[in-house]
Amino acid sequence: MAHHASRSSVYRRLTDRLNRSPQGAPPSETLFEILRLLFSEREAELVSVLPLKPFTVARAAAAWKTTEAEAQRVLETLASRALLVDLEGKDGVRYVLPPPMAGFFEFSMMRVRSDLDQKALAELFYQYLNVEEDFVRALFAGGETQLGRTFVNEPALGDDDALHVLDFERASEVIRTATHRAVGLCYCRHKMQHLGRACDAPQDICMTFNLSAAALVRHGHARAVDVAEGLELLQQAYERDLVQFGENVRESVNFICNCCGCCCEAMIAARRFAVMHPIHTTAFLPAVEESACNGCEKCVRVCPVEAMSAVSANDPRHPKRTVARLDEDRCLGCGVCVRACAPRAIALRPRASRRLTPLNGAHRAVLMAIERGKLQDLVFDDRLLFSHRALAALLGAVLRLPPAKRLLATEQVRSRYLEALCRRFA
């Protein structure tokens, strides 16, 4: 009994560490079972004291009170299983504990593995993400700044609309400009395959980019692709009416998933929590020309978030005739409905205003931390130091004061000031 309690406390400490990050992972018995499958007790204990921001071998060795050689051996072991990501930059290698989503949950299912019971893991993931609501609610509906955003379906754009699409809004541009590109199994459909619920959309189609892609390829979790193959995979996704859901940043995008409406967590969350806008939309909305709509309802069937519906056309000569109707509040602006419309009764039109897209991962993390009341944990992230724990508590108390909350909520601070800081310290 004592051993069981000790083991439970180790995974609770790891959960506490995950919850100091902006995204978090609400505790539950299901989460503890997931962590037990992925981390040994010793690994969980070690990882629970790692900082939030990227760190060196020396920093890990100091936290673990061990030699750098031993720390490097442990870090490389964890990176080889994609529980940590090793980022190779100009200043050497830095390690980071990725969040559960998009992070080590997905990485555990990005290839077929014999070192994990992936069926058991898939069942636990389904329970934690599809049955229990706390994690998905916290991830996708915990604030105004979201983890991911929708990329517009480029073939659906008209000539005039294409002029209004910025480079960072094009999945094709992300593929062309990335330093590294890789493809792996779709975590969502692979998970559903183990449950006997997967659709027939392709699995080997979800992409990672830049330093994250390099790390995943290095350890065999993803396969490197060139620009031509990346664009070919994107075209396959367009042809299968899959939605491009990617990292909500303008620079150095780390992932783009090609999502179906039936299996993929982001699309399911967009339906379940539509009122909270869990996914950043594109800068477009589909407009329906009712006089041209023939009521085929293909757009209704293809929409992954149930933003399209069929309503009566109020045609006395054809009382059963329907036309498509858009719920703008649910729409992602992806454009798959445009491609599905044979009579060309739907076209994309610019939205009245664009949502703020963070500059990079650091900018997004700070915005998410501010909105979720975790900025103090991000600033003072070494909880082994009493000074960091004390200063985090003090800063947290200050940030909860009404004047500070109002200041941090202003658009100027959220966008211009923080973006300038991120550019300066990049």
Residue range 291-311, pLDDT digits in tens: 899 989 999 999 999 999 989
Q: 67: how many CB neighbours lie within 10 A of its CB? A: 11
Q: What angle do CA 279, 223, 248 make, to 5 degrees?
A: 20
For residues 95 and 3, which has the higher predicted lDDT (pLDDT)? 95
DSSP calls for 93-111? EEEE---IIIIIHHHTTSS
Which CATH number among 3.30.70.20, 3.40.718.10, 3.40.50.300, 2.60.120.260 corresponds to the domain 284-350? 3.30.70.20
Tell me which architecture the domain covering 2-96 has in CATH.
Orthogonal Bundle (1.10)
- Model confidence at 223: pLDDT above 60: yes
Domain residue ranges in the chain: 2-96, 136-276, 284-350, 361-425
DSSP calls for 203-237? SEEEEEEHHHHHHHHHTTSSEE--HHHHHHHHHHH
Closest CA to 221 of 194, 255, 250: 255
Residue range 332-342, pLDDT digits in tens: 999 999 999 99
Reported confidence tier of residue 66, pLDDT bands at 50, 70, 90: very high
Residue range 326-375, pLDDT digits in tens: 999 999 999 999 999 999 999 999 998 877 899 998 888 888 888 888 87
Q: Do domains 2-96 and 284-350 have the same CATH topology?
A: no
